Structure 1
Amino acid sequence: MLVKIVVGVLFRILILTGIFPLQLTRIHIPAYKFRGGSAQLECEYELKGARTNPEESIRGSHPRNRYIYRDDYYNDGDSDGQGGSGSEKLYSVKWYKDNEEFYRYVPSANPPIKSYKIEGIRVDTDHSNHSKVTLRMLTLKSSGLYRCEISAEAPSFDSVQGDGRMDVIVIPKDGPTISGDSERDSYHMGETLELNCTSGRSYPATTLQWYINDNLVLEPSMLVSYPRFQNPHGLITSYLGLSVVVGPHHYVNGEMRIKCMASMSPVLWSGGQESVLQHPTFDHREAMLLVRSLSWQVRSKSPIILTAVAIYLLVIS
C-alpha cells in the first residue's frame, strides 16, 4: 500500500512539473446514450511545449472517465524521454472498444483516418479527427468500455491512454399495465385479490413496485416475483404480481387505491459511491375499481383507484 501511495505521489509530481512530453488533458465518454442516436467520444492531449493547465492532465471530464494510464518507451540515445529541445510530434491516436481497435488516426498516413468494422460500431469519419471520434446509429451492442491511446513519435515514443464506459439504453414505448382475473368481477372480504403488473420493453430492465393507498408494499408474502423476459433485439420485459387478502383496513374513505410503478434509473459512480441524477419522464396508465359494501368490481369507467405509473430517471450526456 505504501509503495502505491509513493508511486502515485511521484507520478503526480511528474505530471505537474511537465516532465512528460505528452499529456492527456481530457477524456469525455458519455455515460448513457439512446439507441439509434449518436455519440461523440473525445480524447484531448497536449504535446511538449503546449500544455496550459497541468491540473487537467490528471482529471477526466466525467466521474466514469477516471482511468488514465501511461506507457513510456525511450531509446538508448535519450533516456530522459524529453527528446531534446524540439517539440514532440504526434504519431497516432487509436480508439478501442472492449480492447478491440475500431478507429485510428495517423497524421503521416494517407488518408490519416482509418476505421475498422466491429459489432455495434459505426464510425462517422466525416465528423471524426485526431481528438474526437463520432459514432452513429448506436445499438445495444455499442455498450462497452471505450479507450483512447495517444502515441508520440521519436525520440520519446511516449504513450498515454484513458478510458470510460458508455451504455446504450432504451426507454419503454408503453407504460406498465395492470391485469388480473378477468373472469371475476367482485371480491368479498377475506378473499384474495391477485393482480399482475407488466412493464414495457426496455433496456436495462425496469424495476416494478406495488403501492396500496400510496404505501409501498414491502411484505414478501404479498409480492409474486416472475422471471424477466428477454425479447428479440435484447429488450427486457419485467413482471411483478400482487396477492392481497381483502380486509376493511385496506379501505380509506371507502376506497382502496392500488398503483404499480415502473422505474428505470441509470446510475453514475463517483468515488465508489452511487449518486443518481434525476430527469423524470412520466407515463401514466390507469385502471378503475368501484368499491361496494362487502365486494367491489373492476370496471373501465369507475372512479380511478388502480393506477400504473412509469417513472424513467435519465442521465444522458
Structure 2
Amino acid sequence: MLWGFVYAFLLLFLRNEVLCLNDVVLEMDPAIVDKGGTSKLRCSYDLQGAPLYTVKWYRGNHEFYRYTPKEHPSTKTFTLPGVNVDLQQSNEHQVVLQDVGFNLSGKFSCEVTTDAPLFSTKTVSKEMLVVVLPSDSPNIITDKSFYDIGDVLRANCSSPPSRPAATLTFILNNIVVCAKCNTIKTPVADLFSVDLSLDLPLFESHFHGGLLTLKCVSRIGDLYQQDSQITFSNARDPVPAKVTANNHSTANGTRNIRFLMLLIYLACVF
C-alpha cells in the first residue's frame, strides 16, 4: 500500500515537473556579429503556469546577467571583460549586448528555473561568432604584362586584414591552379592579412584563343566572397608550322619564274 502511494506520488511529481517548463529556445540576432556591433540574445520559454524563479545568462561558464522577479532590483549584472549589457533593453526574456569584441566568440547559455513547489531548470546554448570582413576585394600583381607558352606565370594575391583570415584561391581560365601555391598569413593588430603566391609553367593547354584570365577568389566560409581578375589579351599563340611552310614555298616559286623569264630574254637577244 505504501509503495503504491509512493509510486503515485512520483508519477504526479514527474508529470508536474515535465509540465512546469517547456520549449526553452535561445535565439541570437545576429549570431554572426561585426566587431563593435550589437547582438540581441532572446530566451523564450513556456512555464506551463508555474512561477518563474530566475533566468541566468552565461558566456561559457561565467554568469554575466540574472533576472529574478522576486528580488529588487530584479536584474543583476556580473563583471565579465568584454561584456557590455544594455540594461534598458534587457529583461526576463532577452539580453542586449553592445560593442561586441572578439573575446565574445563562443558559447552563450540561457538557464531558466521555475519557483517552488516544483523547482525545474533547463539550459539552452548557442554559439556566437564575432568577425571583421575584408574591406575590399583581393589584389592581384603579376611579373609580366603578357605570357607565351613556356613562360612561368608568377603572381601574388593579397587580401585586406580580416578575422577570421580569408582563404585565397587562384583560378586560371576557370581551372583552379593551386598545386604550387604558397599562403602566408600575417597578424595585423587583432586581424590577419593573407598573401597567396603562384609560380606556374604555362603550356599550350593553358591558353584559350590566345587569352589568359587569372582570377583570385577570397572567401571566408559562407560569410564573404569576393574576387578580382586580370585578362592578358596580348598573350600569343605559336605560329602554326603549316603557315611557315606555305610562305617558304611561295618565295621559291617566285624566284623560279624570274629565272625562267631571264633565260627567255637572253635567248631573244642572242
Name the TM tier (shorter chain). Answer: 0.7 to 0.9
Aligned partners of 2:108 and 2:128 also within 8 Å: yes
Matched, 1:19 2:10: no
Partners of 2:74 and 2:171 in 1: CA distance: 59
Mark the CA change 1:145 to 1:35 in structure 2 (over 3 Å): closer, same or farther. Answer: same
Matched, 1:105 2:48: no
Give the alignment partner of residue 230 of structure 1, picking from 180, 183, 187: 187
CA root-mean-square deviation: 2.5
Partners of 1:118 and 1:132 in 2: CA distance: 18
Report the AA paired with residue 261 of structure 1: V
Mark the CA change 1:89 to 1:246 in structure 2 (over 3 Å): closer, same or farther. Answer: same
Decide which moves more: 30-39 or 142-151: 30-39
The 5 A counterparts of 1:153-168 are: 153-168=115-130
Partners of 2:81 and 2:18 in 1: CA distance: 39
Length-normalised TM-score, structure 1 = 0.63
The 5 A counterparts of 1:32-111 are: 32-49=32-49, 88-111=50-73
The 3-state SS of whatever aligns with 2:135 is coil
Match of 1:137 in 2: 99
1:182-214 residue CA offsets vs partner (Å, 9 max, x unmatched) = xx5565532312111111211222211111111
Match of 1:11 in 2: none
The 5 A counterparts of 1:1-317 are: 19-29=18-28, 30-49=30-49, 88-181=50-143, 187-217=147-177, 220=179, 223-233=180-190, 235-266=191-222, 283=226, 285-287=228-230, 289-293=232-236
Aligned partners of 2:215 and 2:227 also within 8 Å: no
Partners of 1:258 and 1:177 in 2: CA distance: 12
Cα offset for 1:48?
A: 3.3
Corresponding pairs, count = 224
User: Larger helix proportion, structure 1 or 2?
Assistant: 2
Mark the CA change 1:248 to 1:99 in structure 2 (over 3 Å): closer, same or farther. Answer: same
1:12-68 residue CA offsets vs partner (Å, 9 max, x unmatched) = xx78x873422243221343222222111111122233xxxxxxxxxxxxxxxxxxx
Mark the CA change 1:111 to 1:38 in structure 2 (over 3 Å): closer, same or farther. Answer: same
Whichever of the two has the greater Rg, that structure is 2
Aligned partners of 1:205 and 1:237 also within 8 Å: yes
Decide which moves more: 196-205 or 24-33: 24-33
Q: Which runs of 5+ in 1 are unaligned?
A: 1-13, 50-87, 267-277, 296-317
Report the AA paired with residue 36 of structure 1: G
Aligned partners of 2:64 and 2:78 also within 8 Å: yes
Mark the CA change 1:169 to 1:116 in structure 2 (over 3 Å): closer, same or farther. Answer: same
Length-normalised TM-score, structure 2 = 0.74
- The percent identity for this pair of structures is 30
Partners of 2:185 and 2:140 in 1: CA distance: 16
Mark the CA change 1:263 to 1:282 in structure 2 (over 3 Å): closer, same or farther. Answer: closer
Mark the CA change 1:215 to 1:224 in structure 2 (over 3 Å): closer, same or farther. Answer: closer
